[in-house]
């Protein structure tokens, strides 16, 4: 999944009013894509950050809020263990 958050209504890439997408819409989309992955791909879903440019306000910026909503949705809808890479390239279960 290409997790681009530049469609957010407060992102800098477009003019105000061009879109009404918020972090809640990104959470909804993520939850539904994860449900599809749970049903058809054993819960496997790859998420790659590729866009979102408004970082003004740091942790409360539209990009940060969208990423947080996306990750929370992944954690809330995942049926199975989550994995993280080890420095050796191996994968280690952490949840």
Q: What is the pLDDT of residues 24-72, one digit of tens each?
A: 999 999 999 999 998 999 888 999 988 888 888 788 888 999 999 999 9
- Supply the pLDDT for residue 80: 52
Output 80 or 68, whichever has higher pLDDT. 68
- Supply the pLDDT for residue 68: 92
- Supply the pLDDT for residue 94: 42
- Supply the pLDDT for residue 93: 46
Calculate ∠ Cα 49-50-53, nearest 5°. Answer: 105
* pTM strictly above 0.85: no
Output 33 or 90, whichever has higher pLDDT. 33
Beta carbons within 8 Å of 78's beta carbon, 6+ residues apart: 34, 38, 43
Q: What is the dihedral of CA 38, 39, 42, 48, to 10 degrees?
A: -50
- Supply the pLDDT for residue 79: 53
């Amino acid at each position: 999944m290409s997790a681009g958050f530049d469609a957010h209504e407060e992102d800098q890439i477009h003019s105000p009013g061009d879109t009404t997408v918020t972090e809640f819409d990104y959470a909804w989309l993520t939850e539904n894509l994860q449900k599809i992955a749970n049903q058809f791909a054993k819960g496997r879903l790859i998420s790659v950050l590729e866009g979102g440019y408004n970082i003004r306000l740091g942790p409360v910026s539209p990009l940060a809020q969208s990423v947080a909503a996306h990750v929370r949705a992944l954690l809330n809808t995942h049926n199975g263990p989550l994995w993280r890479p080890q420095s050796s390239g191996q994968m280690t279960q952490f949840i």
